[in-house]
Every structure is written in structure tokens, then in C-alpha cells.
């Protein structure tokens, strides 16, 4: 699972595809969740990173 970090919050998704202008996010059933323009995307973080004690990723 991944987290798309945005200025307004976070979106959790199972997978994503790169598009010309941003990321297309999909859930575990391969349903489209939403589109995030690259200009609004602060980071895309693997969910496993949140289980680690490395403070620099928070």
C-alpha cells in the first residue's frame, strides 16, 4: 500500500500509475480512487515506511 501525501491530507492506495500530469490512484479492487496532479503531490510513500522508527520520513 502507498500513501499520497498532499497539502490537504493523505490518500491511501494499493497501486498507482504515472500519467502525463500526475498519478492515478487505485484501491485493492483495482477501482479508480482519484487523480493527483504532480504539482499537488508532496510525496508518495510506501506504507511499510510508516512502520519504521526513521523520523526523517514523517
Q: With beta carbons less than 8 A apart as the criterion, state whether 25 and 35 touch.
A: yes
Q: Which three cell numbers stand for residue 5?
A: 501525501
CA distances from 8 to 36, 40, 46 (A): 12, 9, 19
pLDDT of residue 54: 62
Q: Where are the beta strands (DSSP E) in the chain?
A: 2-6, 9-13, 15-18, 22-26, 32-37, 43-46
pLDDT tens, 7-45?
999 999 999 999 999 999 999 999 999 999 999 999 999
pTM: 0.80
- Looking at the predicted structure, is the pLDDT value of residue 48 above 80? no
Domain ranges of the chain: 2-57
**Rounded Cα–Cα distance for residues 39 and 44 (Å):** 13
Amino acid at each position: 500500500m502507498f500513501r499520497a501525501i498532499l497539502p490537504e491530507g493523505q490518500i491511501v492506495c494499493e497501486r498507482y500509475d504515472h500519467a502525463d500530469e500526475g498519478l492515478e490512484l487505485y484501491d485493492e479492487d483495482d477501482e479508480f480512487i482519484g487523480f493527483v496532479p504532480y504539482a499537488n503531490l508532496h510525496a508518495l510513500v510506501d506504507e511499510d515506511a510508516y512502520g519504521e522508527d526513521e523520523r526523517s520520513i514523517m
